[in-house]
Amino acid sequence: MTHDDETGTDRAGAVAVTDPGPATTSAADAGGDTTATRPGRGARLRAALGAARRGVSRRRRTLLWTTTVVSVLLLVAAAVLYAAVVRPAQQTGQARVDGLAAARTGVEQVLSYQPASKDADVARARGLVTGDFGRQFDSVLDSVVRPALDRGVGTRTVVTRAGVVSGDADRVTALLYFTQEAARTGEPPRTTAGRAEVTVQRVDGRWLVSDLRNF
């Protein structure tokens, strides 16, 4: 081997050692899927999640608003129904009860008088009537009842049956059946039966007799 051959061999070995060879293909050049190659994927995912959360939040707000509006409308409807239907019906029902009781008491008191208490009985009767009937009844008290009491004739009236014919919150008409005892002082009483249609009216919170018709 000559010196030149050795030199060539050394050079060849040097080349073999120092030559890096073909360039290594990177994952990016090979088409590998890495975070570095798709830097926007995480951002898109976060944006999608944010949009979904905002959509849920909007739906919740819409549902809450709708529920609130529906609740308010139901409360308003309930209040209107109570004021327009339920409350008047309750008032009418109670008026029929109170008016019937007032009709029974009123008839018994305006048709019962005793000679011993004639002034008090007449005054009580005047306070239980009203309207046109009240004015007419005043005439009956003066022209019929008082003269009878002055002669010693008294009456006692008892309602035996009663029922409502019609009624509203301030006016009730009832049909009453009653017995009436009439007697002169020192004589046995004479009993008769009768019936009457009586109307009572609410005046300043009191039920007063506004009509009375015997059958």
Half-sphere exposure (Cβ direction) of 4: Cα atoms closer than 13 Å: 0
The pLDDT tens digits of the residues spanning 54-67 come to 666 777 777 777 88
What pLDDT digit, counting tens, does each position of 61-108 carry? 777 778 887 777 777 777 776 666 566 666 788 999 999 999 999 999
Rounded percentage of the chain residues whose pLDDT exceeds 90? 52
The residue type at 197: E
Region 136-143: mean pLDDT is: 93
Task: Give the number of other CB atoms < 10 A from CB of residue 153.
Answer: 17
Residue 191 has pLDDT above 90, yes or no: yes
Average pLDDT value for the chain: 79
Q: Does 48 or 210 have the greater pLDDT score?
A: 210
Mean pLDDT value across residues 126-134: 95
pLDDT digits (tens, 9 = 90+) for 192-208: 999 999 999 999 999 99
